[in-house]
Amino acid sequence: MQRQPLADYEFWFVVGSQFLYGKETLDQVAAHAQIMVQRMNASGLLPCKLVYKATVKTPEEIEQCVKEANYNDACAGLITWMHTFSPSKMWIRGLEILQKPYCHLHTQFNRTIPDTEIDMDFMNLNQSAHGDREHAFIAARMHTKRKIITGFWEDEPVLAKLGSWMRSAVGAIESRKLKVVRFGDNMRNVAVTEGDKVGVQMQLGWQVNTWGVGDLIRELESVTEAEVDAQMQGYQSRYEFATKDLETVRYQAREQVAMRRFLQREGAYAYTNTFEDLQQMRQLPGLASQDLMAEGYGYGGEGDWKVSAMTSLVKRMTEGMDGGTTFMEDYTYHLEKGNELSLGAHMLEICPSITTEKAKIEVHELGIGGKEPPARLVFEGHQGSAILASLVDMGGRVRLIVNEIEVVKPIYRMPNLPVARVMWKPQPDLNQASHLWMLAGGAHHAVLSYDATAEMLEDWCEIMGIEFVHINNQTTVSSMKQQLFLADLAWKLQ
């Protein structure tokens, strides 16, 4: 099953008004809306197409528009704007049945007040300042989840926020369709990789199911040499071979072909495995999993289906951006006073989308699992601002924890460390960030993304109706304790 490209999603621009103002004014409203849509699409800042859908003037028109949006698979959300005054009781039924993400754009067609031309005709047409307040009230009164963006519609910060929210909205749509394949079960006795799969499917839409490793082995046995040759050609075009052990690399290619086939047949874009459950497989998939992540699949080590799903969704939300997103794990620290850093890595499975160098294929012993030395990609993550995101099951609800970080060039060469690696400074600093992360229950597995932002993931959480915890330079231990205490109370009341 092929995914719909992110750019093929559309968002409907729905403008509120009423018949009170007459045909001439309503024609102007529609003309202005079409100009706005054309220019916003031409800005290059929106990842999806904005479509002027209608100027709605009655409860019936609003309800019909929402019904059409709900059942149109190409529509990923509604963006509303009140050019004139639109009495908000008209919107109640529409908002009651709305199932798509919803953004309220508070702007106006004209940037400035025309000093000598302004008259009552102008005032009747340009009523966004109070028309949008009326619209916002009914959404607040109904506790309707929505994103509010304010500012002039042609300004870059406004368009950037709108573009970011579009990505969050697509993430919400894709979340409802996401399937996760678990090859085997979780690593034994690990707590954070567990979770309520039924509850998550009800809330986030994820279908998380398990297949025996024997099913994957049968798929492996059916892979042809021609398929392996084609996968090897892909490796040769993308990576540097720093090994002569081509048979080991070919086995990884065979694993990748088999896993891709399996995932495509099931319509899944995320998967897990664990080194404790490989049965007759000769190697833990390393290079195979890394290259599958580069194709857009989500991965979670040790059976961690939550981080696998989040990796897939963040990759989906940031489609078309070039910073990179990967599965990640905090591995060890550099605790030099005043220059504290975290070294992130994993046994094998870090996505090469986060490097600007040509990754090297190497073969080394794994040290655990008792299998043959696997081939893997070795590289450094590039420098830049990024986020770490961890979705955890708190019992009855899930929580997404996001920490803003700054990735730095590793301060050591580490020539004997045969894995991909990333080094970063978390906000506010390593000691505080670790304290805050652990207070919130953050996992040792996370998604690292240079493209997603805290705001993008917060918007996704709001659409999905889950808890969001943000760690940045302004976060303190005392504020975090208070936030978590109040959140526990609030979520228990829901």
pLDDT in tens, 186-217: 999 999 999 999 999 999 999 999 999 999 99
- Same domain assignment for residues 227 and 345: yes
Q: Quick check: is 362 in a domain? A: yes
Domain housing 380: 179-492
At 50, is the pLDDT very low, low, confident or very high (cuts 50, 70, 90)? very high
- How many distinct structural domains can be found in the chain? 2
Q: In sequence order, what are the residues at sequence separation of 6 or more whose Cβ sits closer than 8 angstroms to the Cβ of residue 253?
A: 228, 231, 232, 235, 287, 288
**Domain presence at residue 88:** yes
Q: What is the mean pLDDT of residues 283-299?
A: 97
148 and 98 in one domain?
A: yes
Does the structure show a pLDDT above 70 at 294? yes
- Do 260 and 111 fall within a single domain? no
278 and 255, same domain (yes or no)? yes
Write the CATH number for 115. Answer: 3.40.50.10940
Whether 235 maps to a domain, the answer reads yes
* 154 within a domain of the structure (yes/no): yes
Determine the pLDDT at residue 388: 98
Write down the pLDDT at residue 1: 60
Q: What is the largest CA-CA distance in the chain?
A: 82
pLDDT at 367: 81
Residue 1 domain flag: no
Whether 305 and 291 map to the same domain: the answer is: yes
Average pLDDT (110-124) is 88
Higher pLDDT, 24 or 81: 81
pLDDT band, very low/low/confident/very high, at 489 (cuts 50, 70, 90): very high
Query: Considering 139, 156, 175, which residue would you say is the last residue of a domain?
Result: 175
Identify whether residues 329 and 299 lie together within a single domain: yes
**pLDDT score, position 468:** 98
Q: Is pLDDT at 2 greater than 80 in this prediction? A: no
Q: What is the mean pLDDT of the chain?
A: 96
Position 20 scores a pLDDT of 87
Give the list of residues 6+ apart from residue 457 with CB closer than 8 angstroms, or none.
168, 314, 387, 389, 400, 402, 468
pLDDT in tens, 388-423: 999 999 998 999 999 999 999 999 999 999 999 999
Residue 368 pLDDT exceeds 90: no
Q: Are residues 55 and 127 in the same domain?
A: yes
What is the Cα–Cα distance from 488 to 486, expressed in whole angstroms?
5
Residue 75, pLDDT > 90, answer: yes
Flag whether 455 is marked binding.
no
Q: Is 124 among the domain residues?
A: yes
- Domain end residue (candidates: 153, 175, 197): 175
Task: Name the band, by pLDDT with cuts 50, 70 and 90, for residue 115.
Answer: confident
Residue 215 and residue 154 in one domain: no
> Per-residue pLDDT tens for 137-147?
999 999 999 99
The answer to whether position 3 is within a domain reads: no
Length, in residues, of the chain: 494
Query: For residue 175, what pLDDT band results from cuts at 50, 70 and 90?
Result: very high
Residues 138 and 208 in one domain: no
Q: Is residue 279 part of a domain?
A: yes
- Percent of the chain clearing pLDDT 90 (strictly above): 91
Query: Who has greater pLDDT, 21 or 167?
Result: 167
Whole-angstrom distance, CA of residue 471 vs CA of residue 387: 10
346 is in an annotated binding site: yes
Share of the chain above pLDDT 70, in %: 100
Question: Do residues 210 and 111 share a domain?
Answer: no
258 and 243 in one domain?
yes
Is 340 one of the annotated binding-site residues?
no
Count of alpha carbons within 13 angstroms of residue 266, beta-carbon side? 23
In this structure, the answer to whether residues 158 and 292 fall within a common structural domain is no
Of 130, 148, 175, the domain-final residue: 175
Annotated ligand binding at 382? The verdict is: no
How sure is the predictor about 38, in pLDDT bands with cuts at 50, 70 and 90? very high
| pLDDT (tens digit per residue) in 311-367 | 999 999 999 999 999 999 999 999 999 999 999 999 899 999 999 999 999 999 988
